[in-house]
Amino acid sequence: MLKCSIWWCGKVFSVRPAKTAPPNPINRALKLNFQHQHQSIPLFTCRSNRSVSAMEEAAASTIGFLSKKLYDPPSWASHLNPIPSHTFSLGHLPTPIHKWNLPNLPQNTEVWLKRDDLSGMELSGNKVRKLEFLLAEAVAQGADCIITIGGIQSNHCRATAVAAKYLDLDCYLILRTSKVLVDKDPGLTGNLLVERLVGAHIDLVSKEEYAKTGSLALTNLLKEKLISEGRKPYVIPVGGSNSLGTWGYIEAVREIEQQLQTGNGKAGFDDIVVACGSGATVAGLALGSWLSQLKAKVHAFAVCDDPDYFYEYVQGLIDGLQGGVSSRGIVDIKNAKGIGYAMSTPEELKFVKEVAQATGVVLDPVYSGKAAHGMMKDMADNPMKWAGRKILFIHTGGLLGLFDKTDEMVSLVGNWREMDVPESTPRKDGSGKMF
């Protein structure tokens, strides 16, 4: 008979198997943990006549999620400054790496996939890694609400809204939309559905107003308004991309290194390929790869703005950590914007469909879809540049963005029909149960 005591915030709970499950002490412990502002780390003491059980492992996993932890940086990044003091455990990490059998690759080229789209459900994607650091600072500063800003289908805004609610914080989103829709209900498509389900407060602003006023001024206006109402807001920039958010992908490099060490013993990666939408993911990967033993060349495909803008912005993030290196020396940034941010050509959407059909991997149309399309186009144009190389592609998530493209994709996914059931097929009422 297993008896397990769980210590949390000075209280001890006993867990025993029972025919009728008692109130869940893990959930009570989690509630106590939030009431104590995540200042305690759970410890376990168990007595059993057998080895550590699946029940204990499940309990440990449950308690680890959403916990606040002291942050210890990788040794190769310990000279960076400032170093975060804490993180929240928000993502389901490490995310898996597997071979990606893309067709029409250059000779002897391998592409592997880092599945950051599997870092959670409502919280899926690369934004989770940044939010682990940003929300830890927000809580440490005593914030009671979060402000952030992005496009109408922003994955970052959706992830922030969910993570904030997990931590009992209100969330205020400023979403950029077209001038003709700014005074209308934004609807429930894709990311908007999740944001509105979790109770995020949404302010709409036109693209024209956004372009003239800027994200910093807009978030500051809302911040001052909330302060005047007695609130304590914490502002997260577009995409969570500041020097603190950059730590999310510095830490991801450590994760990749550990996965390579525990894998099948093959050599590391020659290249890392990723979409670039706000900058911190690229900055963290490039700086981490350069500082660590990974030493993979980072290739970023910009889905908005242009490469020169991102070289400068990434440089600012690196300088904010006293990284001591030029962005142009550690990352290659190419333009993959196409006809515009979050706008897709028929060719790009066809590519997303073909990749899904060939490999089972669903790319989003705004970020990873454009980055993978750009990578494959560059491979076709410059096969010798990529021949024989081992590439890690970072899938940054964004699946919900596909729901905003359904009208444009109807002609690509017409493989359906009514089933032909011959008249001679025996029939009897009640034979098929419909649940």
Of 119, 154, 278, 292, catalytic: 154
Which structure tokens are listed for 433? 């149960």
The secondary structure element, H or E, covering residue 196 is helix 191-197
- Distance (Å, whole) CA 40 – CA 85: 15
| Of residues 90, 168, 176, the one with CA closest to residue 134 | 90
Beta carbons of 124 and 117 less than 8 angstroms apart: yes
Strands (E) located in 209-270: 233-235
Exposure string for 123-150, b = 16+ CB within 10 A, e = fewer: bbbbbbbbbbbbbbbbbeeebebbbbbb
Name, in order, each residue with C-beta under 8 angstroms of 312's C-beta and a sequence gap of 6 or more.
Answer: 327
Does the active-site annotation cover 14? no
Query: What are the angstrom distances between the C-alpha of 407 and each of 201, 349, 361, 401?
Result: 28, 11, 21, 13
Which structure tokens are listed for 62? 């449950």
* DSSP assignment letter at 293: S
The owner of tokens 């979403």 is 175
* Residues tagged active-site: 154
